[in-house]
Amino acid sequence: MNLQDLYQEVILDHNRSPRNFRISESANRRINGNNPLCGDKITLFLDLQDGIIKDVCFQGSGCAISTASASLMTDALKGMPEAKARETFKHFHAVVTENAEPNSETLGKLTVLAGVKEFPSRVKCATLAWHTLEAALNDSHDTVTTE
Protein backbone atom coordinates (compact mmCIF):
# COMPACT_ATOMS: atom_id res chain seq x y z
CA MET A 1 0.00 0.00 0.00
CA ASN A 2 1.53 3.33 -0.96
CA LEU A 3 1.20 6.54 1.01
CA GLN A 4 -1.56 7.91 -1.23
CA ASP A 5 -3.66 4.77 -0.68
CA LEU A 6 -3.08 4.98 3.05
CA TYR A 7 -4.22 8.62 3.14
CA GLN A 8 -7.25 7.71 1.05
CA GLU A 9 -8.05 4.89 3.48
CA VAL A 10 -7.89 7.23 6.51
CA ILE A 11 -10.18 9.75 4.82
CA LEU A 12 -12.71 7.05 3.88
CA ASP A 13 -12.61 5.65 7.42
CA HIS A 14 -13.28 9.06 9.00
CA ASN A 15 -16.10 9.63 6.52
CA ARG A 16 -17.68 6.23 7.27
CA SER A 17 -17.41 6.61 11.04
CA PRO A 18 -16.79 10.25 11.88
CA ARG A 19 -15.29 10.89 15.33
CA ASN A 20 -16.96 13.36 17.68
CA PHE A 21 -20.11 13.36 15.56
CA ARG A 22 -22.60 14.39 18.23
CA ILE A 23 -24.44 17.32 19.79
CA SER A 24 -23.03 18.88 22.94
CA GLU A 25 -25.36 20.53 25.44
CA SER A 26 -22.49 21.78 27.57
CA ALA A 27 -20.50 23.53 24.82
CA ASN A 28 -20.24 27.28 25.37
CA ARG A 29 -19.89 28.05 21.66
CA ARG A 30 -22.08 26.79 18.86
CA ILE A 31 -21.88 27.94 15.27
CA ASN A 32 -22.99 26.89 11.79
CA GLY A 33 -20.83 26.71 8.69
CA ASN A 34 -21.81 26.38 5.03
CA ASN A 35 -19.95 25.55 1.89
CA PRO A 36 -22.52 26.36 -0.81
CA LEU A 37 -20.13 25.35 -3.58
CA CYS A 38 -20.45 21.70 -2.56
CA GLY A 39 -23.46 21.72 -0.23
CA ASP A 40 -21.47 20.92 2.93
CA LYS A 41 -23.10 21.99 6.19
CA ILE A 42 -21.68 21.78 9.69
CA THR A 43 -22.69 22.77 13.20
CA LEU A 44 -19.69 22.99 15.47
CA PHE A 45 -19.90 22.73 19.27
CA LEU A 46 -16.93 24.06 21.18
CA ASP A 47 -16.32 24.00 24.90
CA LEU A 48 -13.58 26.53 25.54
CA GLN A 49 -12.36 26.97 29.11
CA ASP A 50 -9.46 29.16 30.21
CA GLY A 51 -8.06 29.16 26.68
CA ILE A 52 -8.14 25.36 26.40
CA ILE A 53 -10.39 23.38 24.07
CA LYS A 54 -12.03 21.05 26.58
CA ASP A 55 -14.36 19.51 24.06
CA VAL A 56 -15.26 19.92 20.41
CA CYS A 57 -17.76 18.00 18.33
CA PHE A 58 -19.91 18.47 15.25
CA GLN A 59 -23.06 17.58 13.37
CA GLY A 60 -23.86 18.10 9.74
CA SER A 61 -23.92 16.63 6.31
CA GLY A 62 -21.53 16.93 3.44
CA CYS A 63 -19.12 15.20 1.15
CA ALA A 64 -16.48 12.71 2.28
CA ILE A 65 -13.75 15.35 2.43
CA SER A 66 -15.73 17.79 4.59
CA THR A 67 -16.86 15.06 6.99
CA ALA A 68 -13.40 13.49 7.26
CA SER A 69 -11.84 16.91 7.74
CA ALA A 70 -14.22 17.82 10.59
CA SER A 71 -13.67 14.40 12.16
CA LEU A 72 -9.87 14.64 11.99
CA MET A 73 -9.94 18.26 13.16
CA THR A 74 -12.07 17.60 16.25
CA ASP A 75 -9.86 14.62 17.12
CA ALA A 76 -6.73 16.76 16.85
CA LEU A 77 -8.10 19.73 18.80
CA LYS A 78 -9.26 18.13 22.01
CA GLY A 79 -7.21 19.41 24.93
CA MET A 80 -5.35 21.87 22.71
CA PRO A 81 -4.73 25.47 23.79
CA GLU A 82 -6.61 28.01 21.66
CA ALA A 83 -3.38 29.62 20.42
CA LYS A 84 -2.04 26.29 19.18
CA ALA A 85 -5.34 25.54 17.44
CA ARG A 86 -5.09 28.85 15.56
CA GLU A 87 -1.49 28.08 14.58
CA THR A 88 -2.46 24.62 13.37
CA PHE A 89 -5.20 26.10 11.18
CA LYS A 90 -2.82 28.70 9.79
CA HIS A 91 -0.37 26.00 8.77
CA PHE A 92 -3.08 23.67 7.43
CA HIS A 93 -4.51 26.54 5.38
CA ALA A 94 -1.06 27.38 3.98
CA VAL A 95 -0.55 23.74 2.99
CA VAL A 96 -3.81 23.39 1.07
CA THR A 97 -3.93 26.88 -0.47
CA GLU A 98 -0.32 28.06 -0.80
CA ASN A 99 1.56 24.84 -1.40
CA ALA A 100 3.43 25.11 1.91
CA GLU A 101 5.39 21.99 2.82
CA PRO A 102 3.29 20.04 5.35
CA ASN A 103 4.94 19.81 8.77
CA SER A 104 3.77 16.46 10.12
CA GLU A 105 4.69 17.45 13.66
CA THR A 106 2.20 20.33 13.55
CA LEU A 107 -0.43 18.51 11.51
CA GLY A 108 -0.26 14.98 12.89
CA LYS A 109 -3.00 12.91 11.24
CA LEU A 110 -4.30 16.00 9.43
CA THR A 111 -1.41 15.47 7.02
CA VAL A 112 -3.64 12.98 5.16
CA LEU A 113 -5.66 15.95 3.87
CA ALA A 114 -2.66 17.74 2.35
CA GLY A 115 -3.45 16.10 -1.00
CA VAL A 116 -6.62 18.19 -1.49
CA LYS A 117 -4.42 21.03 -2.73
CA GLU A 118 -4.34 19.10 -6.03
CA PHE A 119 -8.13 19.57 -6.26
CA PRO A 120 -8.88 23.30 -5.89
CA SER A 121 -12.65 22.70 -5.88
CA ARG A 122 -12.29 20.51 -2.76
CA VAL A 123 -10.14 22.91 -0.73
CA LYS A 124 -13.22 24.62 0.70
CA CYS A 125 -14.60 21.22 1.73
CA ALA A 126 -11.42 20.57 3.69
CA THR A 127 -11.27 24.02 5.30
CA LEU A 128 -14.98 24.53 6.16
CA ALA A 129 -14.66 22.97 9.63
CA TRP A 130 -11.58 25.08 10.30
CA HIS A 131 -13.16 28.37 9.23
CA THR A 132 -16.10 27.47 11.47
CA LEU A 133 -13.73 26.71 14.33
CA GLU A 134 -11.96 30.05 13.90
CA ALA A 135 -15.28 31.90 14.05
CA ALA A 136 -16.19 29.96 17.21
CA LEU A 137 -12.85 30.90 18.79
CA ASN A 138 -13.59 34.52 17.87
CA ASP A 139 -16.95 34.12 19.60
CA SER A 140 -18.80 35.00 16.42
CA HIS A 141 -22.46 34.04 16.08
CA ASP A 142 -22.82 34.55 12.36
CA THR A 143 -23.10 31.57 10.07
CA VAL A 144 -19.75 30.96 8.42
CA THR A 145 -19.73 30.65 4.66
CA THR A 146 -16.82 29.73 2.44
CA GLU A 147 -18.14 31.96 -0.35
Task: Catalog residues that contact Zn ion under the rule CB under 5 A.
Answer: 38, 40, 63, 66, 125
C-alpha span between 39 and 61 (Å, rounded):
8
- Smaller CB distance to Zn ion: residue 40 or 55? 40
Q: What's the closest the beta carbon of residue 64 comes to Zn ion, in angstroms?
A: 8
Q: What's the closest the beta carbon of residue 119 comes to Zn ion, in angstroms?
A: 10
Measured between alpha carbons, how far is residue 98 from residues 35, 118, 127 in Å? 20, 11, 13
Q: What's the closest the beta carbon of residue 18 comes to Zn ion, in angstroms?
A: 14
Q: What's the closest the beta carbon of residue 67 comes to Zn ion, in angstroms?
A: 9
C-alpha span between 108 and 137 (Å, rounded):
21
List the Cα angle 21/25/31 in 5-degree steps. 70
Q: What is the DSSP letter of 4?
A: H
- Smaller CB distance to Zn ion: residue 52 or 63? 63
- Smaller CB distance to Zn ion: residue 37 or 80? 37
User: For residues 83 and 134, is the Cβ–Cβ distance under 8 A?
Assistant: no
C-alpha span between 111 and 14 (Å, rounded):
14
- Smaller CB distance to Zn ion: residue 24 or 146? 146
